[in-house]
Structure formats: structure tokens, C-alpha cells
Amino acid sequence: MNVCYVGKGNNDELVRSVLVDNLGFKLLGKGMQFSNNFRFRWTQTSSEVNYMNFVEGKHIVNHISNSSKILTNKLSTLEVLNELKNNMYIEQVKSEIFKSTDEFVPETYRLDVASDLR
């Protein structure tokens, strides 16, 4: 059975109703907000997520670590995705979720990199 934690705020009533009523999730009991026994975690702030115990493919959270520095800046996002692509190519990083960043990132050129202008 899938277990979830839905914290107060951040449209928690909608999220709770979708997860519990529509998808059949079971809510973690009161006092279990720090438990790592969940499939989905919906919180008000990223500080409520324990990234040290986050397991890719097992846990889903509504806050992504470093998102304010990476995902809100196009250049930073592109650099992180290129680094991920290179690390996956040399098999330093493996993912069960996707095989390549090419699956969701179109071919991209940077105007501040001379080699991309040719």
C-alpha cells in the first residue's frame, strides 16, 4: 500500500483528497511527519524534506533540493543537465527513471559559448 505525508498549507486539502480518495494512498499518522516510510511527501517548505534519506525511485516529494538555484535559472538548469548527461555517459551516475537527458531536453545551444555558435 502506498503511504503519504501531507503537511499543512500549500493546498494540502486538494492534495490529500487526490492522494487518499482518488489514488488510494494511506496517510501517515499524527506524529509521523519525520518518518521516511512514505511514497509521496507534500510539504510547505523544502526544509521539511530529509534529502539525506531520499531514495530515487522510492520517494516522491513536492520540493526538489537546490531547486531555487537550479530550476529557476535556465543557464543553471542547462549546465546541470549537461553534467548529468556526461556523468551518465561515463557511467558515473545511473538512473532507473530515465536512460538519457535527451528524452526530455531538446538540442540546445548557448550563445555565450563560441563552439555552440558554429
82 pLDDT more than 90? no
What pLDDT sits at residue 24? 92
Region 89-110: mean pLDDT is 77
CA atoms within a 13 Å half-sphere pointing along the CA-CB vector of 18: 8
**Helix residue ranges per DSSP H, 1-118:** 12-16, 67-70, 74-89
Residue 72: the pLDDT is 65
More confident residue, 5 or 113: 5
pLDDT at 26 over 90: yes
Instruction: Please compute the mean of the pLDDT values over residues 26-50 and round it to a whole number.
Output: 85
Domain ranges of the chain: 3-64, 69-117
Strands (E), 24-75: 26-27, 40-42, 60-61
Name the residue among 80, 82, 57, 60 with its Cα closest to residue 70: 80
Look at residue 25 in the predicted model and tell me its pLDDT. 92
Average pLDDT across the chain, whole number? 81
Share of the chain above pLDDT 70, in %: 90
